[in-house]
């Protein structure tokens, strides 16, 4: 069949393309130009486009570059900045997957006559007993990217291929080397593609937002420190809060940009038995039974259940089997049954813990 | 490339690789070839051979012209809003020496706003704006093909800024227009061989005598000290061969290609109207003729149509078109030319640039007439239109 392979210039998508060619598909490569600014590792620099094109040349397939800069700015960067302005910690990779790679690109592929879009993600498409497709974990547990792909529904997953999802990263690299692909030894991409290590998140946001200096208070309300920008503080953060060293570790447990206040507390304050969420979506029918829920790309899945609030609008909460760390508002929570993604949602703020000063 | 240019180059790649700066027989052979090419380019342009400075292409010629004039005599720069990036960025680079760049806009047909230019020059004469030492306006725009009246521009400069130099990028125009007449009053001209059917990587800056231009590339003093570096003899020979052919065939080619372009335009506008409502020629108002546009240019705006998707499908159908100038990574970006023409961004995303050349045939036009509407129909999700009989087809 005709397949459009999104080639980032990395080793995974290179091997994905190679495997599709070997399987006899009619393959075309495309590199998405998403971000015009600085990038350490992303898929947008000229040299990455060059790598993708040279791999396509080596495989004997056509390669195109698609400009999605406007869409990326509107659907990924703008929500990212707005979320930080509201004290939330967004997940831009997930927004990019949903709106660009498996949104605009998938629609374009359809118009251009392609049966499927393939990427180098370490994930699988699994079909349940109910006949519904779900995102499944990649075979390489350490490289699994099912979390950032959560939200892809049955219909879209029918037009998506993950050719390296069954392989370990080592096997992918070995295959690239055996095929003589120039990307075989390329380092893995890291973190958010549009924020460079040299620049950092605070400076990136500082050019797009007025950053607000704020107070750091403990759970009893006493001021214990100051931060330069409350917009860059994430729930669960331990460093950079201006707190004196020594003693038990303290964490940001709540961020309120309206009052420019960060609340810090100990390990116990960081934990909660429930986690409110919004934008709750299900891969198939809702599941009331036990699931495992993951709150970051490579986080440990924790046992819990999902309870919708019954009012609709996608609000609900995660009820943890045992108290778990609070999830920063804006972060995605992804629920699995076994290795299959069954639900996804966005964390919202938990009630700020307030403890009275203990009587002496 | 024109086969004659390839043929002319081959001996200078294989056997005659003498450096023209040397004093031996091989050097003299190369020197003679260089001088023959210089004569050919001079004849095409209507200048003296000694006024031809060979460069690595149009970009080097533009950047040398702007930087070189300002380096020789500090002052302001004036550029048109839809100039090639080599001119816009060349002017910006030159301005780092302490000058100021003034950009003059264009109207909907792509013609320079002469009233705005006159206003600026009058302000400069009155001392309220920087007095320009150089004004740069292409004889014909590379993207939409609009031809500028250089004489009118030269009149304005002569009246208000008599010491200013007129530089014109004629890279796009040289294959089509009568340079000895239309570019006679420009002091500096930039040319590129590949637009004439010659090789890429070679071009020329024409420096009319009496024009002060400091060299950009310094060193061995080649090209009378105006462009150092060992000359690309084979490339220059190919340039000369192409220039000779253009000088001989230009008028006939322009007439023939303009007719092909007109047939393509009429056919496409008719076929696209039902599937891409609002389709129009970018710089040709409805009912107007196309005498102000290069014969090989057809630039269309298809509002709401994703041009990059159309290009993808055209490429698969064997038709090479473009949406805007390409950037280094190959993705098409919104063009500053369309911005300069005041085309809204959503319409600019639907721009399609089809160019015809000396080698374009009736059959090529037929192929485009079939492929373009089919591609647009696919992208907008409409049924492919039935082929429309176009008068003058190749049957």
Is the pLDDT higher at B330 or at B160? B160
Say yes or no to pLDDT of B325 above 60: no
The pLDDT of B174-188, averaged and rounded, is 98
Of all residues in chain B, the one with the smallest CA distance to A105 is B309
Q: Give me the CATH number covering residue A243.
A: 2.30.30.280
As a whole-number percent, the residues of chain B with pLDDT over 90 amount to 82
Active site residue A96: yes
What is the three-state SS of A269-337?
Answer: HHEEEEEEEEEEEECCCCCCCCEEEECCCCCCCEEEEEEECCCCCCCEEEEEEEEEECCCCCCEEEEEE
Neighbours of B254 (CB within 10 A): 18
Give how many domains chain A has, as a whole number: 3
User: What pLDDT, on the 0 to 100 scale, is given for residue A192?
Assistant: 83
User: What pLDDT, on the 0 to 100 scale, is given for residue A359?
Assistant: 47
The pLDDT of B182-205, averaged and rounded, is 98
Give domain status of residue A204, yes or no: no
User: What pLDDT, on the 0 to 100 scale, is given for residue B383?
Assistant: 61
pLDDT tens digits, residue range B286-302?
888 999 999 999 999 99
The distance of B352 to chain A (nearest Cα, Å) reads: 16
The shortest CB-CB distance from B329 to any of A33, A108, A113 is to A33
Domains B3-246 and B250-380 equal at CATH topology level: no
Q: Which of A119-133, A186-200, A269-283, B52-66 has the lowest mean pLDDT?
A: A186-200
Judged by CB atoms closer than 8 Å, whether chains meet at B312 and A69 is answered as: no
**pLDDT-based confidence at B54, cuts 50/70/90?**
very high
User: What pLDDT, on the 0 to 100 scale, is given for residue A45?
Assistant: 62
User: What pLDDT, on the 0 to 100 scale, is given for residue B327?
Assistant: 44
Residue B326 CB partners (closer than 8 Å, separation 6+): B332
A106 shares its domain with A132 = yes
A113 shares its domain with A133 = yes
A29 shares its domain with A118 = yes
Contact B100/A at CB under 8 A: no
Give domain status of residue A192, yes or no: no
A98 shares its domain with A165 = yes
The distance of B324 to chain A (nearest Cα, Å) reads: 12
Mutate to test the interface with B, among A112, A113, A114 (most CBs of B within 10 A): A112
The pLDDT of A244-253, averaged and rounded, is 86
How many angstroms from the chain centroid is the CA of residue A318?
Answer: 19
pLDDT tens digits, residue range B71-129?
999 999 999 999 999 999 999 999 998 889 999 999 999 999 999 999 999 999 999 99
A17 shares its domain with A145 = yes
A235 shares its domain with A275 = no
A257 shares its domain with A301 = no
The distance of B336 to chain A (nearest Cα, Å) reads: 16
A55 shares its domain with A151 = yes
Range of the structural domain that residue A324 is part of: 271-347
As a whole-number percent, the residues of chain A with pLDDT over 70 amount to 94
Whole-number Å distance between alpha carbons of A305 and A291? 6
User: What pLDDT, on the 0 to 100 scale, is given for residue A289?
Assistant: 95
Whole-number Å distance between alpha carbons of B227 and B66? 14
User: What pLDDT, on the 0 to 100 scale, is given for residue A23?
Assistant: 98
Average pLDDT over chain A, rounded to an integer: 91
Contact B384/A at CB under 8 A: no
Average pLDDT over chain B, rounded to an integer: 92
Q: Which of A244, A265, A286 is the last residue of a domain?
A: A265
- Cα-based angle B49, B54, B55 (whole degrees, multiple of 5): 160
A57 shares its domain with A146 = yes
User: What pLDDT, on the 0 to 100 scale, is given for residue B53?
Assistant: 98
Q: Which of A237, A265, A293 is the last residue of a domain?
A: A265
Q: Which of A163, A178, A193 is the last residue of a domain?
A: A178
Active site residue A44: no
- Considering only CB atoms, which chain A residues are within 8 Å of B331? 33, 65-67, 69
Q: Provide the sign of the torsion angle of the four alpha carbons B42, B213, B34, B253, taken in this order.
A: negative
Judged by CB atoms closer than 8 Å, whether chains meet at A108 and B306 is answered as: yes
The pLDDT of B259-283, averaged and rounded, is 96
Say yes or no to pLDDT of B30 above 50: yes
Neighbours of A26 (CB within 10 A): 12
Say yes or no to pLDDT of A50 above 70: yes
pLDDT tens digits, residue range A165-217?
999 999 999 999 999 999 999 888 767 888 888 888 889 999 999 999 999 99
User: What pLDDT, on the 0 to 100 scale, is given for residue A43?
Assistant: 46
Judged by CB atoms closer than 8 Å, whether chains meet at A66 and B331 is answered as: yes
Give domain status of residue A144, yes or no: yes
Domain boundaries, chain B: 3-246, 250-380
**pLDDT-based confidence at B376, cuts 50/70/90?**
very high
Give domain status of residue A333, yes or no: yes
Say yes or no to pLDDT of B386 above 60: no
User: What pLDDT, on the 0 to 100 scale, is given for residue B332?
Assistant: 57
DSSP state, residue A77: I
Kindly report the CATH number that applies to the domain delimited by B3-246: 3.40.640.10
- The catalytic residues of B are 327
A253 shares its domain with A111 = no
User: What pLDDT, on the 0 to 100 scale, is given for residue B360?
Assistant: 95
A162-194 core/surface letters (b: 16 or more CB in 10 A; e: else): bbbbebbbeebbebbeebebebbebeebeebbb
Residue B135 CB partners (closer than 8 Å, separation 6+): B77, B78, B79, B117, B153, B157, B161, B164, B165, B166, B167
Whole-number Å distance between alpha carbons of A86 and B189? 56
A242 shares its domain with A324 = no
A224 shares its domain with A286 = no
Say yes or no to pLDDT of B21 above 90: no
Judged by CB atoms closer than 8 Å, whether chains meet at B312 and A64 is answered as: yes
The shortest CB-CB distance from A108 to any of B309, B328, B332 is to B309
Judged by CB atoms closer than 8 Å, whether chains meet at B331 and A46 is answered as: no
Please list the residues that pair with B146 across neighbouring strands: B293
pLDDT tens digits, residue range A68-117?
988 999 999 999 999 999 999 999 999 999 999 999 999 999 999 999 99
Judged by CB atoms closer than 8 Å, whether chains meet at A111 and B328 is answered as: no
Q: Give me the CATH number covering residue A170.
A: 3.40.50.620
Domain B250-380 falls in which CATH fold? 3.90.1150
């Amino acid at each position: 069949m005709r397949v459009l392979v999104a080639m980032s210039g990395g080793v995974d998508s290179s091997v994905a393309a190679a495997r599709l060619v070997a399987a006899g598909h009619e393959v075309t490569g495309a590199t998405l130009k998403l971000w015009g600014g600085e990038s350490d590792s992303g898929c947008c620099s000229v040299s990455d486009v060059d790598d993708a094109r040279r791999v396509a040349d080596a495989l004997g397939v056509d390669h195109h570059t698609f400009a999605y800069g406007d869409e990326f700015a509107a659907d990924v960067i703008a929500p990212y900045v707005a979320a930080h302005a509201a004290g939330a910690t967004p997940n831009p990779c997930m927004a990019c997957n949903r709106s660009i790679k498996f949104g605009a690109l998938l629609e374009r592929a359809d118009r251009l006559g392609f049966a499927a879009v393939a990427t180098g993600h370490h994930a699988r498409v699994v079909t349940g007993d109910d006949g519904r497709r779900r995102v499944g974990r990649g075979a390489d547990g350490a490289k699994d990217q099912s979390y950032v792909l959560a939200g892809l529904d049955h219909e879209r997953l029918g037009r998506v291929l993950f050719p390296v999802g069954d392989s370990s990263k080592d096997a992918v690299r070995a295959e690239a080397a055996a095929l003589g692909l120039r990307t075989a030894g390329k380092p893995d991409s890291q973190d958010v593609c549009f924020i460079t290590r040299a620049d950092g998140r605070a400076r990136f946001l500082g050019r797009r937002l007025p950053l607000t200096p704020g107070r750091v208070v403990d759970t009893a309300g006493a001021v214990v420190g100051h931060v330069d920008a409350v917009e860059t503080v994430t729930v669960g953060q331990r460093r950079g809060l201006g707190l004196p060293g020594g003693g038990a570790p303290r964490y940001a447990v709540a961020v309120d940009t309206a009052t420019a206040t960060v609340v810090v507390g100990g390990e116990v304050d960081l934990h909660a038995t429930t986690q409110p969420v919004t934008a709750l979506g299900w891969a198939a029918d809702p599941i009331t039974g036990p699931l495992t829920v993951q709150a970051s790309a490579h986080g440990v899945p924790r046992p819990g259940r999902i309870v919708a609030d019954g009012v609709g609008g996608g609000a609900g909460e995660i009820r943890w089997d045992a108290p778990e760390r609070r999830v920063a508002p804006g972060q995605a929570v992804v629920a699995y049954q076994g290795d299959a993604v069954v639900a996804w949602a966005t964390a919202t703020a938990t009630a700020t813990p307030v403890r009275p000063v203990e009587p002496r | 490339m024109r086969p004659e240019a390839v043929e002319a180059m081959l001996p200078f790649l294989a056997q005659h690789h003498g450096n023209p700066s040397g004093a031996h027989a091989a050097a003299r052979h190369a020197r003679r070839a260089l001088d023959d090419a210089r004569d050919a380019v001079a004849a095409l342009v209507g200048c003296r051979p000694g006024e031809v400075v060979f460069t690595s292409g149009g970009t080097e010629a533009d950047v040398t012209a702007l930087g070189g004039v300002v380096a020789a005599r500090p002052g302001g720069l004036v550029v048109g809003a839809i100039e090639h990036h080599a001119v816009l960025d060349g002017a910006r680079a030159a301005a780092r020496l302490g000058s100021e760049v003034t950009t003059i806009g264009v109207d909907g047909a792509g013609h320079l706003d002469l009233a705005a230019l006159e206003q600026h020059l009058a302000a400069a004469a009155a001392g309220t704006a920087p007095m320009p030492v150089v004004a740069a306006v292409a004889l014909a725009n590379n993207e939409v093909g609009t031809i500028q009246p250089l004489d009118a521009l030269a009149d304005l400069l002569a009246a208000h800024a008599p010491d200013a130099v007129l530089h014109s990028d004629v890279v796009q125009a040289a294959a089509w227009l009568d340079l000895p007449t239309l570019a006679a009053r420009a002091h500096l001209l930039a040319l590129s061989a590949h637009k004439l059917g010659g090789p890429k990587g070679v071009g020329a800056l024409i420096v009319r005598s009496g024009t002060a231009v400091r060299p950009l590339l310094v060193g061995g003093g080649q090209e009378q000290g105006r462009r150092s570096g060992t000359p690309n003899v084979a490339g220059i020979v190919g340039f000369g061969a192409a220039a000779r052919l253009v000088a001989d065939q230009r008028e006939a080619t322009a007439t023939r290609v303009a007719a092909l372009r007109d047939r393509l335009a009429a056919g496409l506008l008719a076929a696209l109207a039902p599937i891409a409502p609002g389709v129009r020629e970018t710089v040709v108002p409805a009912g107007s003729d196309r005498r102000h546009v290069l014969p090989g240019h057809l630039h269309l705006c298809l509002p709401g149509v994703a041009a990059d998707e159309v290009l993808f499908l055209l490429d698969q159908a064997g038709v090479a078109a473009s949406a805007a100038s390409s950037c280094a990574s190959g993705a098409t970006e919104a063009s500053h030319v369309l911005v300069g023409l005041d085309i809204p961004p959503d319409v600019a995303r639907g721009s399609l640039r089809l160019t015809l050349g000396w080698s374009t045939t009736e059959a090529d036009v037929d192929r485009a007439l079939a492929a373009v509407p089919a591609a647009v129909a696919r992208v907008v999700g409409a049924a492919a239109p039935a082929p429309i009989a176009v008068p003058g087809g190749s049957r």
